Amino acid sequence: MLKIIVDENIVFGEEAFSKFGEVRLLPGRNLNNQILKDAEILIVRSITKVDEELLMNTRIKFVGTATTGNDHVDQKYLNEKSIFFADAKGCNADSVTEYVFTTLMKIASEKNITLKNKTFSVVGVGNIGSIVVKLAESFGMHVLKNDPPLERAGNETDFVSLDEALQADIISLHVPLTKDGIDKTYHLLNSENLKRLRDDSILINTSRGEVVDNKALLETIRSRKLKVILDVWENEPNINKELLDCTVIGTAHIAGYSFEGKVNGTKMIFDALCKFVGEKKQWNQSLPTIENPIRQLSSNGHKEKNLYQLFKSIYNIDCDDAGLRKVLQYGPNNTRKHFDLLRKEYPMRREFDNFRIIFSEKNDELINLLQKFRFKVELI
């Protein structure tokens, strides 16, 4: 029987992987070489650094991360040791996208901003960024795309430079973290190019904290009128509390934490493990039903304000922001514990496609927009 170590925060972790052997659920930050000595399968999230120090002289032959990002995994070492690796790219793309636009609706609502005709830059046009592009276009925004690897591959002809992208009204970052090579994204935004951001522009980072030099960003915010939304931070969970205090919205790396996003991640690693051991992909997860999936929406008035009230009725981002800001009261040791606890005890958040919107009068533009967000729409 296989011995399997699974991060305790992976949804349906025991249910899914007990099919393959004996499952131990453990805190991801506490995993070490000694714990893994007798295990063959390791399934983690982004908080566990998987490298030679963790795996040396163990029996691990399969590593799966139930996350979109994989910068916490030393894939070169895994290849050298013939350890099979699987990630869950795209598992939480809709979750992150809903986070991005909920934050935008909140700011637009509070500042009485209309998004139509604004310039929106998407830096990184992969699984998540490509969805963000389509939704931004649906709002009538002028979308700029920056993605050097895709540009070199000749996928499209309308990419812009990073310098041009940073001139937009709104900039949203969706790149993987890479620390070397031609496409290095470590400190992609730094003390030099942060100066190119316009006053009153909105910067959103839901990718990885190290993509932005947090110290330089803090200095930039203090000298400029920027609206900064951060879900990811350098040195998590020991985040820069001064930077948090300067953000418009700050959250604890939970943009991708919808229930569906988590389940997708588990399922993708389950499928990969089935393939690895030669089993059939048979696991039918049952998601909880939603008590009140029906919402009403006015087609009159300020569109962004109406949408924010709708989005907020499903996902109240103010709670996530307020939860993280409690660290401002704590010392350094408690900051780390609080950050991790917010993630461990994160309440169930459901994605927009679970909800049905009822209109009393027809509005084709708004109905089309809601459908792009995967809402079910009904006219009565």
The catalytic site residues sit at 208, 236, 253
Amino acid in the structure at residue 185: T
Contacts of 41 (CB under 8 A, 6+ apart): 2, 3, 4, 5, 17, 20, 21, 60, 61, 62, 64, 273
The token pair that represents 48 in the structure block:
């566990």
The token pair that represents 1 in the structure block:
């029987």
The Cα–Cα gap between 268 and 97 comes to 19
C-alpha dihedral sign at 205, 211, 216, 218: positive
The token pair that represents 304 in the structure block:
């962004």
The Cα–Cα gap between 270 and 10 comes to 12
* Residues 106, 249 contacting (CB under 8 angstroms): yes
The Cα–Cα gap between 357 and 369 comes to 12
The Cα–Cα gap between 188 and 365 comes to 37
User: Any idea what DSSP says for residue 247?
Assistant: -
